[in-house]
Amino acid sequence: MRSKNEKVRVGIIGVGGIANGKHMPNLAKLPNVEMVAFCDIIRERAEQGAKKYGTPDAKVYTDYRDLIARDDIDVVHVCTPNRSHSFITIDALEAGKHVMCEKPMAKTYAEAKAMVEAAKRTGKKLTIGYQSRHRADSSYLKKIIEAGELGEIYFAKALAVRRRAVPTWGVFLDEEEQGGGPLIDIGTHALDLTLWLMNNYEWESVMGSTFKKLSQRENAANAWGPWDPKKFTVEDSAFGFIKMKNGATIILESSWALNTLQVGEAICVLCGTEGGADFFDGLRINGEKNGQLYTTKVELHHGGVAYYEGKSDDPGYLEAKRWIDAVVNDTDPVVLPEQALVVTQILEAIYTSARTGQPVYNPAVRK
Ligand SMILES: NC(=O)c1ccc[n+]([C@@H]2O[C@H](COP(=O)([O-])OP(=O)(O)OC[C@H]3O[C@@H](n4cnc5c(N)ncnc54)[C@H](O)[C@@H]3O)[C@@H](O)[C@H]2O)c1
């Protein structure tokens, strides 16, 4: 960045669903940001982004290498499908940009590790779009955990369970493009949230199962309309049993299609020695006080004020604001790339275990 008073100049790579739904509208709310470059392999998408959110002289590209070659861009947001997260991010870091990359960090651990190494090598910042950490409920829970109110958290469930909500746009069903189905797509949010709340990143072993039981149905009922079974090459549900070095245990459940009524996405259940917490029916804390069990439902709205201008606690807005603040003030982003790397490693271990039928051990922990 040139000077603290100048605006942060941002380029968007991949101008599809998440760029339009989260990144661009929230960056547009920040007075110290301007979006000056837009890239999509489908030119019209980049043009539409530029027209709606760009500066009057914003440029449009179909090859991301042309965008990152500019030396007047400070920050790049990578919003392409999973296959290209790693190489676009690394190229952008090498070109001197700070990078916000969408989740999942990458298709594989090796790709994600190369991203962390590139950030270290270049001294540029890298973060991943896990916006669930910025929700009012998870932020509040993080504070009370840090205050010791749950004690030692030794059992957790990381949940990303949909009954029938298979994403039918883009390339979500394509193994080659995405590296997997619900586990890597939404399980990644739930696991990130759980590890962050537990503040425990040392995993020891993983067992996993993946299923393709409902994906081959024709004309299936689905929130986003029927899918094409021939294109559905990823799993439709996946489950993991994760044991941490200190013995803590996490069960991860993820599905796009599963015959269950117990659904919930990017949430978790935490059980500690002093209390527990879950996100069913809002954030609830449970425990034992004065010889009785209690459950507290946390009220997270603002004292009866429905809305006043300037106030926003939308997680997508807070994610963008805190990220840009970290760039301007040269501080750590909320989501550290090293944390997202562990999430990627565990997800890969679940896939490997499901394929081989064997547990996967963390070589750094179990020598
Ligand atoms: N944080 C979240 O909750 C969340 C939600 C949805 C999607 N995502 C992530 O965002 C990413 C994109 O998902 P989406 O729903 O926006 O998909 P999408 O298909 O709607 O958009 C992706 C866009 O990238 C473009 N693209 C593909 N390859 C490109 C390349 N090499 N260079 C430039 N543009 C390219 C496509 O043409 C498309 O417009 C995925 O990794 C997904 O996991 C995150």
Q: Show me where the domains of the chain are located.
A: 8-130+314-331, 133-313+343-361
Place of tokens 């009785």: 292
Q: Which CATH superfamily is domain 8-130+314-331 in?
A: NAD(P)-binding Rossmann-like Domain (3.40.50.720)
The mean pLDDT of 73-78, rounded to a whole number, is 98
Closest CA to 145 of 97, 107, 197, 191: 197
pLDDT computed for residue 309 by the predictor: 43
Closest ligand 1 atom, CA of 178? 41
d(CA 78, ligand 1 centre) in Å = 8
The mean pLDDT of 253-281, rounded to a whole number, is 97
Average pLDDT, the chain: 95
d(CA 17, ligand 1 centre) in Å = 6
The mean pLDDT of 287-306, rounded to a whole number, is 83
Confidence of residue 219 (pLDDT cuts 50, 70, 90): very high
d(CA 176, ligand 1 centre) in Å = 14
Q: Does domain 133-313+343-361 match CATH 3.30.360.10?
A: yes
Residue 308 has pLDDT above 60, yes or no: no
Range with the poorest average pLDDT among 17-21, 65-69, 307-311, 343-347: 307-311
Closest ligand 1 atom, CA of 129? 1
Residue 87 has pLDDT above 70, yes or no: yes
SS3 label, residue 68: helix
Residue 4 has pLDDT above 70, yes or no: no
**236 near 181, Cβ under 8 Å?**
yes
Distance, in Å, from the CA atom of 64 to the CA atom of 41, rounded to the nearest integer, reads 9
Distance, in Å, from the CA atom of 176 to the CA atom of 169, rounded to the nearest integer, reads 16
Residue 5 has pLDDT above 80, yes or no: no
d(CA 180, ligand 1 centre) in Å = 15
d(CA 80, ligand 1 centre) in Å = 4
Residue 206 has pLDDT above 80, yes or no: yes
If one residue of 26, 40, 67, 343 were mutated to test the ligand 1 pocket, choosing by the most ligand atoms within 8 A of its CB, it would be 40
The strand pairing partners of 349, in sequence order, are none
Place of tokens 């603002």: 302
d(CA 177, ligand 1 centre) in Å = 10
Residue 295 has pLDDT above 60, yes or no: yes
Residues with CB under 6 A from ligand 1: 13-18, 39-42, 45, 64, 79-82, 84, 102-103, 129, 131, 169-170, 185
Confidence of residue 249 (pLDDT cuts 50, 70, 90): very high
User: How many Cβ atoms from other residues are within 10 Å of residue 242's Cβ?
Assistant: 23
**Residues 101-138 pLDDT 10s:** 999 999 999 999 999 999 999 999 999 999 999 999 99
Q: Answer whether 0.85 is exceeded by the pTM.
A: yes
